[in-house]
Chain A
Amino acid sequence: MDILISGIQLGAIYAILSIGFSLILGSARIIFLTYAVFYMLVGYFWYIVNTLFGMNLILSASLAVVMTVALGIGTYKLCVERIRQHETTVILITLVLAFFFEECVLLGFGSQLRNVPAFIPGYVELLGVKVLNQYSLTLAVSLVLIFLIWLFLWKTKLGIAIRATSQDREVVNLMGINEKRMSMIAVGVGIALAGIAGVMVAPIYLLEPTMWTEPFIMVLAIVILGGLGSIKGSIIGAYILGYAQVALVYLVPMGSFIRSSVALAAMIVVLLIRPEGMFGVLFEEERL
């Protein structure tokens, strides 16, 4: 029972994060490794806005997300866009940028943990299991987001355009869609998702400059497991790996520290057998 509920919660958070990363990776084909850092940054922005300006929680959270998206798009435009075709350099620079941001936060805040109050403090006893209200909220938000993303990508013009770029970048240009702008929007939406995941999670976990590294690895594993460029795959992958982690913690309590390694090992196995993942789409030039 416990496993069921914990798994859903963890899966929900990973789902939000993975959709964002999958969007950027799938549509814009940019390995934007800095992504996970925004999940951490949004928490700190929120902390600043909330504590220093004493704003209402929801308002400050939204502001934090907006700030993070702005920073993300700014970083993208400044550092990543011009070298997009050199994939190697993109990987390198986004990774260095991630550590750079971590260092900045470390310098500004020190590595002490910070706390942000929950939207709905307290917990609820559900079927004999205590569930933090914040978790339930996260689950609800996650479901709403998934619905919204589906709506956006399948029903709006902009969304269809983005999906088109994920299928074939060159032809999309011929069709009159501004591929560059689509990529930027994809990046923006992706980062917004990371931001939302961050504010959902900040009250449960504690703010720490290194809090993004573990989710980062998990997201990489999930996105590859689910398949590059597939939103559906990312969601399913998120829940699979979320449950795998929780099961590990419950069944092998002594081994709970090894969760990241297990996730990565799973990812490697998937890469070996089926590099596209479960539902992925592989560009022609990537096929071996």
Chain B
Amino acid sequence: MAYFLWRLYKNFEGEILAIPGKTVAFFGILFLFCLYFIPIHPYVLRILTFSAIFAIYAASWDLLYFAGQLNLGHGAFFGVAGYVAAILDLQLHLPSGVAIILGAIGSVICGLILGIPALRMRGPYLAILTLAFPVILTGVVFALPDITGGELGLSGISSLSESDLSVYYICLVVMLLSVLIMLKLADTRSSIVRTGIVFKAMAEDEIAARTSGINTPRYKLLAFAVSAFFAGISGGLYVYVIKVAGPSTFHPLFSIHPVIWTIFGGAASIYGPVAGVFILYPFWGGLFAATPELRMIIFNALIIIIILFMPEGISHWFRDRTERMCPRCKLINSRRRSSCRACSAAL
């Protein structure tokens, strides 16, 4: 038993403590889990709950971006799942987990609907197409007010759980699971899960990928489907936390948020958007408490500045400063080391 624990610790030391980025991530997550023991202000708790939900949302966008598809209408997936879950909850009284998953499946269907025309387009055309999607859905919402509640939305959705704290933990756990799954899907070095490397290949050079025998249309659709699924999960969680499903999630600005969080946090790396959300959203919440009038302006200005001067995003910038890859064995080391921890080559 002691041996097992000692091995666990050694693994921990080797894998996580050795790399500053991972250390930060590990302790950050640990902290998030330990909120039970800290007396926490309900406002802060709510901010963190939303952060967890939006982290899933942003990460799902990033997965699609990783596969080379720029989606400016991601809010559509988020919102659709919310509406489906809301309807299932209000009309059929399904348990929350089931409703959310079915909502996410609804998003997947949307993802495929969006994905099919997207197969034919690249770059700016794709972006404009995706921009159009939530707008069209807004029209649908208003056209069928009996089902969707029009501008009022659907309200009175039941709670995920009794206390705010348990709701928070549910969101946190779902976030971790989703992010881990998405990390695995985007992992280019895994030999079991091949989607990572396929997506990356498609993103870099689609024609070359095709000539290598990769069925790009199928993988593109897969990317849309998975991305929509996780966006749907976050959308479902969202309506259960806020108890209302409304058309506000189809607003173009809401679809831009994951883009901002991801670019800020570090694009095309699933941990980047998570970091981005957990930095930006509490910042936004704090700004809100401090200067409600100026917050949008400060926020937007900040985004513009960050994009201009740190275009690769915070997590990449951080990693560049703290990590170095060993030239011989390609293992990632902390920059403070003078020699690689595995092969002793000079760094």
Judged by CB atoms under 8 Å, the answer to whether A and B touch is yes
- Give the B-binding residues of A (Cβ under 8 A): 31, 79, 82-83, 86-89, 91-93, 95-97, 99-100, 103-104, 107, 213, 217, 220-221, 224, 255, 257-258, 260-262, 264-265, 267-268, 271-272, 275, 286, 288
Chain B residue contacts of A92, Cβ below 8 A:
256, 259-260, 263, 307
Contacts of B263 in A (CB 8 A): 89, 92
What A residues does B296 contact at CB under 8 A?
99, 103
For B260, the chain A residues whose CB sits under 8 A away are 92, 96
- Give the CA-CA distance A257 to B125 in the complex, in Å: 26
Q: How far is the CB of A241 from chain B (nearest CB, A)?
A: 14
Q: Is B279 an interface residue (CB 8 A)?
A: no
Contacts of B259 in A (CB 8 A): 92
Return the contact of B300 from the options A83, A103, A224 (Cβ within 8 A): A103
Say whether, besides A91-B72, A95-B256, A107-B293, A31 and B127 are in contact (CB < 8 Å): yes
- For B120, the chain A residues whose CB sits under 8 A away are 271-272, 275, 288
Distance of A107 Cα from B263 Cα, bound (Å): 27
A91 touches B70 (CB 8 A): yes
Closest to B308 in A: A79
Q: Which of B12-20, B21-29, B134-142, B160-168 lies at the interface?
A: B134-142
Quick check: is B177 within 8 A (CB to CB) of the other chain?
no
How far, in angstroms, from A89 to B140 measured CA to CA in the complex? Answer: 30
Q: Which residues of A contact B125 (CB under 8 A)?
A: 224, 271, 275, 286
B132:A93 contact, CB within 8 angstroms: no
Establish whether residues A89 and B294, one from each chain, have CB atoms under 8 Å apart when the complex forms: no
Contacts of B70 in A (CB 8 A): 88, 91
CB of B131 closer than 8 Å to a CB of A: yes
Inter-subunit contact B297/A107 (CB<8 Å)? yes
Contact B124 A31 (CB under 8 A): yes
10 pairs of residues in contact across A and B, judged by CB atoms under 8 Å: A79-B304, A93-B307, A93-B308, A100-B300, A107-B294, A261-B135, A261-B136, A264-B135, A268-B132, A271-B128
Measured between beta carbons, the chain B residues less than 8 angstroms from A107 are 293-294, 297
Chain B's closest residue to A214 (CB) is: B135
Contacts of A275 in B (CB 8 A): 120-121, 125
CA distance A113 to B191 in the complex (A): 60
Q: A107-B294, A257-B142 are in contact. Are A99 and B311 (CB under 8 A)?
A: no
CB-CB nearest 4 A-B residue pairs: A261-B139, A100-B300, A264-B132, A103-B296
A262 to chain B, nearest CB (A): 8
Q: Are B129 and A96 in contact (CB under 8 A)?
A: no
Distance, CA A107 to CA B140, complexed state (A) = 31
Q: Chain B: interface residue count, which band?
A: 35 or more
Q: Which residues of B contact A79 (CB under 8 A)?
A: 304, 308
A286 and B297 in contact (CB under 8 A), knowing A88-B70, A261-B139, A271-B129? no
Provide the bound-state CA to CA distance between A89 and B309, in Å.
Answer: 12
- A272→B253 CA distance, assembly (Å): 25
Q: In the complex the two chains form, what is the Cα distance from A253 to B48 in whole Å?
A: 46
User: Which of B298-337 touch A at CB < 8 Å?
Assistant: 300-301, 303-304, 307-308, 311
CA distance A130 to B131 in the complex (A): 37
- Closest residue on chain A to residue B303 by CB atoms: A96
Closest chain-B Cβ to A102's Cβ sits at a distance in Å of: 9
Complex Cα distance, B189 from A72, in Å, reads: 46
- Measured CB to CB, the nearest residue on chain A to B137 is A261
Q: Which residues of A contact B128 (CB under 8 A)?
A: 31, 220, 224, 267, 271
Which chain A residue shows the least CB distance to B135? Answer: A264
Residue B180 interfacial (CB < 8 Å): no
What residues of A have a CB within 8 angstroms of the CB of B42 in the complex? Answer: none
Task: List B contacts of A31 (CB < 8 A).
Answer: 124, 127-128
Most-contacted residue by chain B among A96, A104, A217, A221 (CB, 10 A): A96
The answer, among B72, B121, B297, for a CB contact under 8 Å with A288, is B121
B95 interface contact, C-beta 8 A: no
Contact A258 B143 (CB under 8 A): yes
Tell whether, in the assembled complex, residue A96 and residue B294 are in contact, meaning their CB atoms are under 8 Å apart: no
* Cβ contacts under 8 Å, A272 to chain B: 117, 120
A260 and B127 alpha carbons, distance in the complex (Å): 18
Point out which of B70, B121, B125, B132 has the most chain A C-beta atoms below 10 A from its C-beta: B132
B131 proximity list for chain A (CB < 8 A): 220
A91 touches B127 (CB 8 A): yes
Nearest-neighbour CB distance to chain B for A175, whole angstroms, equals 26
Are A96 and B256 in contact, with the CB atoms below 8 A?
yes
Compute how far the CA of A107 lies from the CA of B298 in the bound complex, rounded to whole angstroms.
12
Assuming the A-B contacts A99-B300, A104-B297, are A83 and B122 also in contact, with contact meaning beta carbons closer than 8 angstroms in the complex?
no
Tell me, yes or no, whether B39 is within 8 Å of chain A by CB: no
User: Is the C-beta of B213 less than 8 angstroms from some C-beta in chain A?
Assistant: no
- Minimum CB–CB distance for B250 against chain A, Å: 11
Contact A258 B304 (CB under 8 A): no
